[in-house]
Amino acid sequence: MKASPDINQLIAIMAALRTPGTGCPWDLEQNFATIAPYTIEEAYEVADAIARGDMDDLCEELGDVLLQVVFHARMAEEAGEFAFGDVVKSITAKLIRRHPHVFGEARGLSPERVKVMWDRIKGEEKAERRRRRQERGLPDEGPAGLLDGIARTLPALTRADKLQRKAASVGFDWSEAREVVAKLREELDEIDAALAQADQTQADQTQADQTLADQTLASESEARRLVLEEIGDFMFAAVNLARHVDGDAETALAMTNAKFERRFAHIEQRLAAEGRGAADASLQEMEDLWQEAKRLEKEAKHLEKEAKLEKEAARSD
């Protein structure tokens, strides 16, 4: 397959947008840091299009991601670092290097052997990156640790999952899911204790005289930080549990988000039928409608299951 000439047109358009004097003022004032949030946003929009099964949107969003690549490459070329062609050359070489069982002589390997080889090659690549950094006079990153290379800008749940999988690869892991459930209960108890401490600190602040006000406010801030820290520990354990049942927390939370949106939409629709909005309803009214949404979902699932069983029975007859 030959490369489309359209990619050259896209590169030329970006060069024109970044040309001082005749280019776009907004594009000209951007840098790597200001464009990075858009790069992340576009990747999420690709994932959203996939989740919705919208192929038209997916095509458009993939184009937006490609634009981000071209934009960063153009800025790097202006700085004398690398150009779009170097990006293509780099990823092409990496794919060939990491797939010797496809492009080389290491044929007929099992999936397990492929993974071992993949990890070895990635380790060699890290060593090569360190060598290049030294040649450019960049600071030494220090000894390569097991958890190195996991991007700090990943969503926290995704990064937690990757950290845990890395640690598990050397045996630092729970042996089974129920041990993680016990850990979750332990973390809930610690959250409860932290909340009790925060409540006590708030009560102390109410009783404090003016001379102790600043000290009490500092204590309240520390109490809030402790509660958040314990919540973080709980969430980290929840990620572990999702992993131990062959899932991932990001997907689990996305499913729950969708469920929440679906049920809240039911509340809004039922209230709208009465000419009201959510702000006009009491908490109890909304709770009753929430429970109604849950019941309707359960009934729909039951009917769907029965229909499936009937279809299978008819097929077997």
CA dihedral 287, 292, 298, 301 (to 10 degrees): -120
* pLDDT value, residue 289: 97
* pLDDT value, residue 1: 47
Question: pLDDT per residue over 84-96, tens digit each?
Answer: 999 999 999 999 9
Question: pLDDT per residue over 247-277, tens digit each?
Answer: 999 889 989 999 999 999 999 999 999 999 9
Contact 125, 95 (CB under 8 A): no
Contact 240, 176 (CB under 8 A): no
Distances (CA, A) of 26 to 18, 31, 60, 83, 163: 9, 11, 22, 21, 38
Alpha helix stretches (DSSP H) within 99-176: 100-103, 111-135, 156-168
DSSP string, 53-84: T-HHHHHHHHHHHHHHHHHHHHHHHHTTS--H
Question: pLDDT per residue over 134-190, tens digit each?
Answer: 888 877 666 668 888 788 888 899 999 999 999 999 999 999 999 999 999 999 999
Using the predicted structure, report yes or no on whether residue 2 has a pLDDT greater than 80.
no
Question: pLDDT per residue over 27-59, tens digit each?
Answer: 999 999 999 999 999 999 999 999 889 999 999
Contact 226, 198 (CB under 8 A): yes
Q: What is the pTM of this model?
A: 0.66
106-110, 157-161, 200-204: which has the minimum mean pLDDT? 200-204
